[in-house]
Amino acid sequence: MIDLAFFLEIIPALLAGLPLTLQLAASSISIGFIMALLLALAQQGNHRFVVWPIRAFVAVFRGTPLLVQIFLIYYGLGQFRLTLQAIGLWWLFREPYWCAIIALSLNTAAYGSEILRGAIQGVPRGLVEAATASGMSRYLTLRLVVLPLALRQAIPSYSNEIILMVKGTSLASIITLVEVTGIAQGLISQTYRAVEVFVTAGAIYLTLNFTIISALNAIEAWLTPYRARA
| pLDDT for res 23 | 96
**143 φ/ψ angles, rounded to the nearest 5 degrees:** -75, -35
Count helices and strands (H / E) in the chain: 13, 0
| pLDDT for res 47 | 83
**From CA 108, how far away is CA 209, in angstroms rounded?**
17
Q: Smallest Cα–Cα separation from 20: which of 104, 138, 123? A: 104
| pLDDT for res 1 | 60
- pTM to 2 decimal places: 0.92
| pLDDT for res 8 | 87
**From CA 51, how far away is CA 48, in angstroms rounded?**
5
- Amino acid in position 39: L
SS3 146: helix
pLDDT in tens, the chain (230 residues): 667 888 889 999 999 999 999 999 999 999 999 999 999 999 987 788 889 999 999 999 999 999 999 999 999 988 888 899 999 999 999 999 999 999 999 999 999 999 999 999 999 989 888 988 888 888 899 988 999 999 988 998 999 999 999 999 999 999 989 999 999 999 999 988 998 999 999 999 999 999 999 999 888 888 777 666 65
Q: Provide the H-helix boundaries in 95-193.
A: 96-121, 125-133, 138-141, 147-168, 180-191
Report the 10 Å Cβ neighbour count for 92.
Answer: 14
| pLDDT for res 135 | 87
Report the 10 Å Cβ neighbour count for 59.
Answer: 11
Q: Smallest Cα–Cα separation from 32: which of 72, 56, 62, 67? A: 62
| pLDDT for res 109 | 97
Residues in CB range of 181: below 8 A, 6 or more apart: 17, 170, 171, 172, 173, 201
**From CA 51, how far away is CA 23, in angstroms rounded?**
32
